Structure 1
Amino acid sequence: MIIVLLFGLMFALMALGLPIALSIGLPAIGLIVTPGVFPESATLAALGQTVVQQLFSGVDSFDLLAVPLFMIAGSIMEVGGISRRLIDFCNSLVGWAPGGLAAAAIVASMIIAGISGSAAADTAAIGAVVIPAMIRQGYPPAFAAAVVAAGGSIGIIIPPSIPMVIFGFMTNISTSQLFAGGMLVGVLLGLSFIIVAVWISWRKGYGERVPFTWSEVAVTGKAAIWSMGAPVVVLGGILSGVVTVTEAAALAVFYALLVGTVINRELAWKDLPALIIKSQVAAGGILFIIAMAKIFGWLLAMQQSARLLDVFVSSLSLPPTGLLLMVMALLLVVGCVMETTAALLLLVPVLALLTPQMMVDPVQFGVLVVVNLAIGMLTPPVGICLFVSCSIAGISLGKISRAVMPLVIVALLDLMVAALWPPLTMWLPTLFYR
């Protein structure tokens, strides 16, 4: 009864428009201090102390320092000239093909994904440059926005990834292994998006082709070489074991700051305070959700939710593959209606307990969870990448939602491949760490 009431109150508050953190935390806190939920020996003062302790322990982690650091790196990247130089270089490589600029936007998104770990930041950084350019070349605004949104969603799959940091923190799974597991899946998604974008552009005659010349590749490559070096430094440090994920996040901030202020000279020192404040307000919101979700999860655990879930799953009598596909379907639905961080914090503590029954490695499951939620960023009504792209393009959510559907379909096919073919997610973690 308590579990049903807890989730019912949470969804009711969300429907009323209350912020996600409060929608998660207030029902849990309210039920904890309600007389009769806990034994009478538990005084109100003791329960209040428990709430405070759970709030603090929810964010008391060195690993979570990576979240605000990656947010700063993404903000610096957005205004430091990194994205524009990457797009110019990628366009010099693939601009000769039908839909060349669309393909270049996706390639640039894959490169930038190796810096910030935030899909929204990647979408904004690429979209601010490439969406107006695509519209000038004759691409429909909805298609241009959809391509950029799809490319931005890769930002949480190709490492570094803020959702993977959160997943690793919650499950005590190596974040570095999660990063390695997401790399090939992210590349597969990027290639699939490129194929779809080029095919649609060729069939409908979108865009202009840019003649391929080695001189243009050399010029744009020279301008972008420092921008392309950021993922090499960050990911190379993590995968080689030289730095931890949190240290790599600090390295990303330093590198983005160096490139933006000293090399590209497009970021003024006087602009840094505003950038830091903006990024840390966003990071603070994420950490507040994590703290509130800790209380929510603690109350679920006290109500023996794990045992009830085990009984429910056993009653279904599904084979491991069937159970895995059912969990994937649930995550897809949740990703459509709930913000990524909130979905992670509410579902992972429960669903991670099912990995033995699903017969999947915890690292593979973590990657699959993040891919599911990345697809949710491309679906209304809560697709954050759609919101960022359509605001840049100046179009309605309905128009971009229709244009993004072919990209969502191919992403779902890639998700099936990742779920049913474990080597795609497990080969690199096994190669580097086992």
Structure 2
Amino acid sequence: MPIGPPDRAGHPRALPWLIVPLEWASAGLMLVIMALLLTAVLSRYLFSSPIVWIDEIVSMSFIWLCMMGTALAMHRNEHLRLGLFVDQLSGTVHATVRAFALCAMLAFLIVLLPSACEYAQQEWLIRTPALDLPNTFRVAAIPFGFAAMLLIVLAYAVRTVPAKVLLGTAAVVIAVVAALYGARPALAALGNWSMLIFLVGVVLLCLLAGVPIAFCFGLGAIGQLAFTTQVPLLIVVGRMDEGMSSLILVSVPIFVLLGCILDATGMGKAIVEFLGALIGHLKAGMSYVLLGSLFIVSGISGSKVSDMATVAPALFPEMKRRGNKPGEMVALLATGAAMADTVPPSIVLIVLGSVAGVSIAGLFQSGFVVALVLLLSLMALARWKARNERAPHRRRASPKVIGQSLLVAAPALLLPFLIRSAVGGGVATATEVSTIAVLYALLTGQVMYGGIGARRFYAMLVETVALSGAILLILGAASALSWTITQSGIVQQLSPWMTAIPGGQMAFLALTMVLFLVLGCLLEGLPAVLLLAPIMYPMARKLGIHDVHYSMVIVCAMNVGLMMPPIGVGFYIACRIGEVKPDEALRSIWPYLLALLAGVVVIAAVPGISTLALKG
């Protein structure tokens, strides 16, 4: 997916006095958070003496990490945006749309910065229970992050957009805002119909213009509240704070770092080589290796992009040598990554559990089984397509070779099962397990896979913070937008209609699948989940649908949409990683998408699949 401002904001000479200290501070803060979490785990489980103040320090550090990450993501061009339409433009039109996107981002930051400062000031009266510190120390990160992003966007706009175009576009935006402000009484009189203007029109317009998704959600919430209600914008900041501050979410950057370590140390390549030695000689064997590698590797990284980037370079040369078509390989890579997205420690499942209030342990247990069902459906199709395949080009590996590759891969193979069993069994939380997993991966990588140099590890820390900041800003903005929708009462109005549709549970699940297929194409997975989860789950609960079962249907449908051309951005990411033109993979991917979709339908129709692994 195209990300960040319309062109690259990051530049080695852009605001070095701000960016360099931010990178050092964020990398150091990441290490501090992991050290504190590891200390908490050791004190609790080894010495039976929990340190109660650690959670408070981690909470404070985490929000600062998030907001520094948002600024770094802006500088590094890593904020998620929909670039499919704006990237087709050229000349004056492209420059004008780019200027509009920048003005929209500036408007968001300029409007919310005073409210963020006021919010931080008000939090001075709230004290933390263990250390008795003012909560301002924590939430001051929000205005700091907004101010840093404002400086970065301004510097980028001045440097890259012609002054005439920028000033002209800014004047138009200001005029539109002034007109909307003058029309406040008329807009308020529209009632919930005003949501079509702000929560649909504004958000959609900004998305098409290439405004980062988090800013689109935030502008929709700001517009609805500022022009149709008397609710202060302080609420938007408060909802963003709440959306980004859950301790469950601390595991997100740590699992992102784990994925970076997996790629850097070659642990993923060791898994691929072992599976190749074990089953690569079979008919459709390399397809099995590709799918199996994605299934296992996703149990370490939690990120689809990281999974594909780890597996493809290790397998594609051998698959090409055996006569596999590049389009077919990329189709299998894309759908395999979609299949494996529910394997613990899925970042999507962690965020979904936080937003919807669903047990992370339950989601992890169920996600493994659901991914296994989808894996079997893809393997069955791969075997059927290879029915006329000639004798394999590679002989069966000897037991000695298999044993040697297993010995090398064993430490890496052990990690995903440790993560799943520890969280699913209730031994430790996802956050605690993520910290232990990073330490394990670092030590194992150092001893068995060559290790990671200090400079590279520092770069990985900065990359992790930036990517996590981009993810968590979307989470905060989506929380504000969801709250705005909920407070309008429209959910209560829609709920009786949605829960009374003919067909009951199955009809509602079918509607959910279609909705998330479409949104998975347009918004990428995470934003769609964040926006709609608080709205859809109450309706599903009214119909008696199990939370974990509904979560699996949502995530699986969303992942199919993510890989569905011509819009699904995951498809293009897979093509880029596999170095294959989208046209080559376009025809090949549809049978695999249909196999995935058939698996999702089975999962939706048979709740027992999703709840099979749940205890009690």
TM-score class, shorter-chain normalisation, is over 0.9
| 1:392 counterpart (565, 577, 580) | 577
* Aligned position for 1:25: 218
Deviations 1:284-328, CA, capped at 9 Å, x for gaps: 111010011111011111101221211432564442222221221
User: Alpha carbons of 1:266 and 1:143: their partners in 2 closer, same or farther (altered >3 Å)?
Assistant: farther
Deviations 1:306-360, CA, capped at 9 Å, x for gaps: 2121143256444222222122122112212221111001111111122134431
Opposite residue 363 of structure 2, the aligned amino acid is: L
CA distance in 2, matches of 1:345, 1:48: 20
* Aligned position for 1:172: 357
Deviations 1:125-155, CA, capped at 9 Å, x for gaps: 1112212332233211111112222222233
Cα contact 1:159–1:179 (8 A) shared by 2 = yes
Cα contact 1:321–1:358 (8 A) shared by 2 = no
* Aligned position for 1:15: 208
Deviations 1:240-269, CA, capped at 9 Å, x for gaps: 211101111212222222222222115333
Cα contact 1:63–1:169 (8 A) shared by 2 = yes
How many percent of aligned residue pairs carry the same amino acid?
A: 26
Cα contact 1:99–1:208 (8 A) shared by 2 = no
Deviations 1:382-415, CA, capped at 9 Å, x for gaps: 5344233211332222322321111111111111
Tell me whether 1:134 sits opposite 2:319 in the alignment.
yes
Q: Within 5 Å, which residues of 2 pair with 1:23-172? A: 23-34=216-227, 37-39=228-230, 42=231, 47-172=232-357
**TM value normalised by structure 2:** 0.66
CA distance in 1, matches of 2:225, 2:412: 50
Q: Could you tell me how far 1:381 is from its partner in structure 2?
A: 4.0
Cα contact 2:335–2:596 (8 A) shared by 1 = no
User: Alpha carbons of 1:109 and 1:215: their partners in 2 closer, same or farther (altered >3 Å)?
Assistant: same
CA distance in 1, matches of 2:379, 2:413: 19
User: Alpha carbons of 1:375 and 1:419: their partners in 2 closer, same or farther (altered >3 Å)?
Assistant: same
Q: Which moved more, 1:124-133 or 1:82-91?
A: 124-133
Cα contact 1:71–1:116 (8 A) shared by 2 = yes
CA distance in 2, matches of 1:354, 1:261: 49
Tell me whether 1:4 sits opposite 2:4 in the alignment.
no
Q: Within 5 Å, which residues of 2 pair with 1:376-391? A: 376-391=561-576
Q: Which moved more, 1:304-313 or 1:224-233?
A: 304-313
Q: Within 5 Å, which residues of 2 pair with 1:209-288? A: 209-288=394-473
* Aligned position for 2:529: 344
Opposite residue 31 of structure 1, the aligned amino acid is: Q
Equivalent residues, number: 423
Cα contact 2:298–2:340 (8 A) shared by 1 = yes
CA distance in 1, matches of 2:340, 2:530: 19
Q: Which moved more, 1:198-207 or 1:165-174?
A: 198-207
CA distance in 2, matches of 1:69, 1:384: 25
CA distance in 2, matches of 1:153, 1:12: 28
Q: Could you tell me how far 1:96 is from its partner in structure 2?
A: 1.5
CA distance in 2, matches of 1:68, 1:331: 25
User: Alpha carbons of 1:57 and 1:247: their partners in 2 closer, same or farther (altered >3 Å)?
Assistant: same
Q: Could you tell me how far 1:101 is from its partner in structure 2?
A: 1.6
Tell me whether 1:299 sits opposite 2:484 in the alignment.
yes
Task: Mark the runs of 5 or more structure 2 residues left unpaired by the alignment.
Answer: 1-192
Cα contact 2:250–2:431 (8 A) shared by 1 = yes
CA distance in 2, matches of 1:325, 1:180: 24
CA distance in 2, matches of 1:375, 1:310: 26
Deviations 1:129-187, CA, capped at 9 Å, x for gaps: 21233223321111111222222223321111111111111121111101111111101
Q: Could you tell me how far 1:11 is from its partner in structure 2?
A: 1.4
CA distance in 2, matches of 1:153, 1:134: 20
Q: Could you tell me how far 1:376 is from its partner in structure 2?
A: 2.0
* Aligned position for 2:552: 367
CA distance in 1, matches of 2:270, 2:387: 26
CA distance in 2, matches of 1:206, 1:341: 43
Q: Which moved more, 1:94-103 or 1:222-231?
A: 94-103
CA distance in 1, matches of 2:563, 2:236: 35
> Over alpha carbons, which structure has the higher Rg?
2
Cα contact 1:119–1:156 (8 A) shared by 2 = yes
**TM value normalised by structure 1:** 0.92
Cα contact 1:68–1:283 (8 A) shared by 2 = yes
Cα contact 1:75–1:121 (8 A) shared by 2 = yes
Deviations 1:179-231, CA, capped at 9 Å, x for gaps: 11111110111122222223323435597333242222111111111110111
Q: How much is the aligned-residue C-alpha RMSD, in angstroms?
A: 1.9
Opposite residue 262 of structure 1, the aligned amino acid is: V
| 1:401 counterpart (548, 566, 586) | 586
Q: Any runs of at least 4 consecutive aligned residues in structure 1 with deviations exceeding 4 A, and if so which?
A: 204-207
CA distance in 2, matches of 1:152, 1:257: 24
Cα contact 2:361–2:425 (8 A) shared by 1 = no
- SS for the counterpart of 1:173 is coil
CA distance in 2, matches of 1:207, 1:144: 17
CA distance in 2, matches of 1:147, 1:427: 27
Q: Which moved more, 1:12-21 or 1:385-394?
A: 385-394
User: Alpha carbons of 1:210 and 1:188: their partners in 2 closer, same or farther (altered >3 Å)?
Assistant: farther
* Aligned position for 1:414: 599
* Aligned position for 2:611: 426
Q: Which has the higher contact order (CA 8 A, sep 6+)?
A: 1
Opposite residue 59 of structure 1, the aligned amino acid is: M
